[in-house]
């Protein structure tokens, strides 16, 4: 009888310990799950999404570097008169960009004998560069008896500055998207990158029209003109900015566009 009583007490103790452990697990289980759900909600971007955003952002940084390099230099267009207008020792040519123009004196011995005009500007020589005054006093620049078109030149500069403003806004949105872990900021960033690229390409078109207007202002001195490496940097940078904006816009879609364009066909179908 005493032994049966001890067995019942041991069974009750074991049952109480098991119930306490299960109760403790039940109490800890929901809290652990809630903590995990909170962790998932706090980081909205997965590792793959964050890596893709950083990769495209690096591509956009390259485009911004090329664009700023082209806008800050004065090798947009080179103007070269025929070598027959100069003496036998030196030759004068010009090159300018958005903000300033340069007159460069080259040695005739350094120029290719088969070249009919003076140049190119990459040859060694003495340069005299001055900033354009139509931003301050409103005066037009005169080179080789030809006058620049003030309104078109200022329009090119304004479009370039607006594109830089769009680039800064897009960079801020991308930074906030990576720091906050939200895909929402990618939409305004993509729009700003696309607009900045379009403004850059539009500035090239307006600049081309300004060069044509400059050449048509006076026909007494024939000039050979060619666009230089600064225009190439700006054009490539603008195209990459548009590409980066399109890629950021694809990241914000609720579905994968590649799966829609290239659907997977299973073997059983």
Q: Is residue 59 part of a domain?
A: yes
Own/partner pairs for 262-268, CB < 8 Å, 24+ apart? none
Beta bridge partners of 154: none
Q: What is the rounded average pLDDT of the residues 111-137?
A: 86
The CATH number covering residue 192 comes to: 1.20.140.150
Which pLDDT score is estimated for 246?
94
Least trusted range by pLDDT, from 119-128, 219-228, 250-259: 250-259
Average pLDDT, rounded, for the chain: 80
44 upstream amide cis, omega within 30 of 0: no
The answer as to whether 23 is a domain residue is: no
Residue 247 pLDDT > 80, yes or no?
A: yes
In a domain, 36, yes or no: no
**pTM of the entire predicted model:** 0.76
Residue 61's H or E segment, with its range, is: helix 47-72
pLDDT at position 90, please?
86
- Tell me whether residue 24 is in a domain: no
Domain count, the chain: 1
Placement of tokens 């050979």 in the chain: 224
Residue 237, in any domain of the structure: yes
Length of the chain: 269
> Is 21 inside a domain boundary?
no
pLDDT tens digits, 158-211: 999 999 999 999 999 999 888 888 888 889 999 999 999 999 999 999 999 999
* Secondary structure E strands in 83-207: 90-96, 100-107, 125-131, 142-143, 146-147
Whether residue 16 lies inside any domain: the answer is no
In terms of residue numbers, what domain contains 117? 47-253
Please check whether residue 95 lies inside any domain of the structure: yes
Tokens 């267009």 belong to residue: 77
Any bridge partners for residue 95, and if so which?
78, 102
The pLDDT assigned to 183 comes to 81
């Amino acid at each position: 009888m005493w032994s049966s009583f001890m067995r019942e007490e041991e069974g009750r103790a074991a049952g109480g310990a098991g119930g306490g452990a299960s109760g403790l697990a039940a109490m800890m289980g929901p809290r652990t799950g809630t903590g995990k759900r909170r962790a998932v909600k706090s980081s909205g971007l997965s590792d793959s999404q964050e890596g893709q955003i950083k990769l495209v952002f690096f591509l956009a940084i390259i485009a911004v570097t090329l664009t700023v390099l082209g806008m800050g230099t004065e090798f947009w267009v080179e103007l070269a008169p025929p070598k027959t207008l100069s003496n036998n020792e030196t030759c004068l040519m010009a090159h300018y960009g958005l903000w300033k123009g340069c007159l460069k004196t080259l040695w005739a011995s350094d120029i290719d004998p088969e070249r009919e005009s003076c140049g190119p500007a990459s040859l060694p020589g003495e340069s005299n560069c001055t900033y354009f005054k139509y931003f301050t006093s409103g005066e037009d620049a005169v080179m080789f008896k030809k006058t620049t078109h003030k309104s078109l030149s200022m329009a090119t500069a304004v479009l370039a500055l607006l594109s830089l403003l769009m680039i800064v806004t897009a960079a801020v949105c991308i930074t906030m998207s990576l720091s906050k872990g939200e895909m929402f900021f990618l939409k305004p960033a993509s729009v700003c990158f696309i607009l900045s690229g379009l403004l850059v390409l539009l500035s090239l078109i307006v600049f081309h029209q300004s060069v044509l207007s400059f050449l048509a202002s006076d026909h007494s001195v024939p000039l050979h003109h060619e666009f230089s490496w600064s225009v190439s940097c700006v054009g490539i940078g603008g195209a990459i900015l548009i590409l980066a904006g399109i890629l950021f816009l694809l990241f914000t879609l609720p579905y994968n566009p590649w799966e829609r364009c290239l659907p997977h066909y299973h073997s059983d179908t």
